[in-house]
Amino acid sequence: MRDGFPDFRLGTVLATSFTGTLSERHGNAVERIPTPQRLVDWLTVSGLAVDSCTTAQLDLARELRESIHAAATAAAVQDALPASAVRVINDCSVHGRAAAVLTPEGQRRWQLGSASSVEDALSVIASDAVSIIAGERDGRLALCASPTCQAAFFDTSQSRTRKWCDMNTCGNRQKKARFIASRSSGGRAGS
């Protein structure tokens, strides 16, 4: 928690880290970018620092987020991609200026357009989503096994058998639930 806001859950894949800013979509949803400033914070830790963010830009970001979530979910279960989601992703990808540049240390850095606007940052996220949903990257789109979460995540494990979007939250909760269930059934068996 920072300033009373929920922490971010950062993964290694930009697009699904972004969709993870809303978690527990099928339970008590947790909005991790509730204010424009929190989106600025998230973009900063994700290597996409912007100068400022308006309420309208936050709305646009959330629209992109839910569109990526919808398209990634459809791709994970091999359904047809929802046309409206594809349109939003493509619009965001097109309407931003960003370039990948190399640092002297040989790392990739995103250089946003001269205005460093939210739209520039969203275009990077949208194009990351395109590469994952199109199956261009080494990995598999899957849905979190937690019934209250069902987040789309990108499984890059060697066996491609990852079950949870996040081991520290969904994975742990599931393990704990199993532990409690096994203890209580063990107790009944013993009595």
Nearer to Zn ion, 124 or 170 (CB): 170
- The gap between the terminal CA atoms of the chain, to the nearest Å, is 43
Could you give the CA distance from residue 114 to residue 98 in angstroms, rounded to a whole number?
A: 9
Could you give the CA distance from residue 188 to residue 181 in angstroms, rounded to a whole number?
A: 11
The CB-of-170 to Zn ion minimum distance in angstroms stands at: 3
Near Zn ion by CB under 5 A: residue from 64, 154, 165, 174: 165
Establish if 170 lies at the interface with Zn ion (CB under 5 A). yes
Establish if 152 lies at the interface with Zn ion (CB under 5 A). no
Nearer to Zn ion, 11 or 82 (CB): 11
Residue 96 carries which side chain, given as an amino acid letter?
A: G
Residues between 10 and 29 with contacts to Zn ion, criterion CB under 5 A: none
The CB-of-148 to Zn ion minimum distance in angstroms stands at: 8
Distances in Å between the Cα of 70 and the Cα atoms of 2, 95, 96, 134 are: 29, 20, 21, 14
Q: What are the residues binding Zn ion (CB under 5 A)?
A: 144, 146, 149, 151, 165, 170
